[in-house]
Homo-oligomer: A and B are copies of this chain.
Amino acid sequence: MRVRALTQDLARNLSDADSSIQPMADASPAKWHLAHTTWFFETFLLREFVRDYQPFDRRYHFLFNSYYEAEGPRLERASRGILSRPSLSEIRHYRSYVEQEMLAVLDWLPSSAMDLLELGCQHEEQHQELLQTDVLFLFSRNPLYPEAWSDEFVPRVAASVTPLAWVEGRPGLTEIGHKGTGFAFDCEMPRHRTWLAPHALADRLITNEEWLQFIDDRGYTTPTLWLSDGWAWVRDNGIEAPQYWRRSSEGSWASHFGLDGLSELQRAAPVSHISFFEADAFARWANARLPTESEWESAAVAVALEGSDANLLDCAGAVAPRPATRGRGLRQMFGDVWEWTSSSYLPYPGFRTAAGAIGEYNGKFMSGQYVLRGGSCATPREHIRASYRNFFYPHQRWQFTGLRLAKDI
C-alpha cells in the first residue's frame, strides 16, 4: 500500500489533461501509468488466482496491456494518448477497486502469487520513475513551461565540486549478478564469473560545467568524436545540448527545464538527460571511455546504499540531480542520474526467461539497447541495488541519464 500510495502522490498535481496527453511514442500519459500498474495486479493476480473475480471494467484489459503478447490484443503504444476517457477520476476508482480486492484475498494467496505480488510492486516502482520523466517531457514541450511541483522549494546552491579523481577497480576474475535472497529481476541473473582488465572509475559524475567545456570545444560539431550512428542522430535531429537545456536570449546555455520548471543551469550538478551517443562522444573527447557494466557493478557492491545520502526518490516532489559531496572515493554511484555503460543489454550466460506472460518482462528487449546503472533521483530508494540493470536505446534521453568516466590502466 505504501508503494501504491506513492504512485498516486506523484500524480497529485496533475490535471485530467496533464495525465492524458502522450507527448511522444516513448512517453506514456500519467493516467496510463496509473492504470497499467493496476492492470498488472488485476491481470496476473486477481484474474489468475481469484475465482469469480469481477473485473472493474472488462474493456480495460485491452486498454492497459502494455506489451504482453500472451495477454492478447492491446491498444497500440503510440495511441495511449487518445484516451481522454476513462477520466483520471475513474482511473483512481479503478486503482482503489483493485487495491480493495487485493487486500481481501491477500491472506490466502498461494506462494507463487506472492512472487507476482512482489513483482507487481517492483513493476509499479519502475513506472513511478517513468511517470515523472514522462510528465517532465510533456511539460518541456509546452511553451508555458509548467511546473510539476510549483510549490516546492528547490535549493539552488552555486556549489562547485572537487576535481575529478580516479579510483582503481579490482581486476581479474570476479562475479557479477544478483546474489542473495532479496528481489531481483530475471535479467540480473544468473550470477556468473567474468574477467576484468585493469581499470579505474571516476570518483564522481560528469557535471554541467564539464559539459559546457565539451560544447565550447566543438564537441557537437566534430564528427570524429562520435559513433557513426550517433553522428547521424546529431545531424538528423539538430542536437546541440542535453535535452532540457535552454538558451538565454543572448544564445548561451543558461537554463534548464526540470520538474520545478525553468531555472538557472546549475554548473556543479551532474549533467542529465543525455543519450548514450552523447555520453560516448564526451568520453572520447575526454580521452576516457564509459565503464562496462561489470566494472561498474564490481565497484558498486562495495558502496553502501543503506544509510547513505544517495539522492534517490523518497517522496513526491521536484526531484533533481545534486552536485557531488566533497570527500574522497566513489561518490554518486547511486541516485542522481542513471549512468550509461558501454555494455549492450544482453542476456547473462545461462539466462532463462520465466514461464508465462511474465516471461515477456525483460528478455525480449535484449537487442539494440544499452545498460544503465545506479538509479536516479527519480528512482524509488528501495528499488535500486548494485546488480540492477536498466536499459534504453542509445538515442533516448528523456530519463535522468548521465555519465561517469572510466579508463584502462
Contact = CB atoms under 8 A, between A and B. Distances in A.
Interface string A388-409: 0000001000000000000010
Contacts of A344: 344, 346
B81 A21 contact: yes
Nearest to A359: B224
A20 B20 contact: yes
Contact of A143 (B15, B19, B63, B141): B63
Interface in A57-100: 59, 62-63, 67, 69-70, 75, 79, 81-88
A261 to B, nearest CB: 12
A229 interface: yes
A23 interface: yes
A404 to B, nearest CB: 18
B394 A368 contact: yes
A277 to B, nearest CB: 8
A142 B82 contact: yes
Contacts of A81: 21, 81
Contacts of A79: 141
- Number of identical monomers bound together in the oligomeric complex: 4
Nearest to A24: B82
Nearest to A199: B349
Interface in A173-214: 173, 192-195, 197
A249 B403 CA distance: 44
Interface residues of A, number: 65
A373 B85 CA distance: 34
A82 B249 CA distance: 24
A396 to B, nearest CB: 13
Contacts of A223: 69
Contact of A197 (B17, B18, B226, B349): B349
A237 B194 CA distance: 38
A302 interface: no
A15 B17 CA distance: 8
Given A62-B143, A228-B367, 13 more contacts: A17-B85, A23-B82, A59-B144, A82-B142, A84-B142, A85-B144, A193-B195, A194-B195, A197-B349, A224-B359, A227-B366, A228-B364, A229-B367
Interface of A: 15-21, 23, 31, 59, 62-63, 67, 69-70, 75, 79, 81-88, 138, 141-144, 146, 173, 192-195, 197, 223-224, 226-231, 276-277, 280, 292, 342-344, 346-347, 349-350, 359-360, 364-368, 394, 408
11 contacts: A15-B84, A17-B20, A20-B20, A69-B231, A83-B144, A85-B146, A193-B197, A195-B195, A224-B360, A228-B364, A349-B408
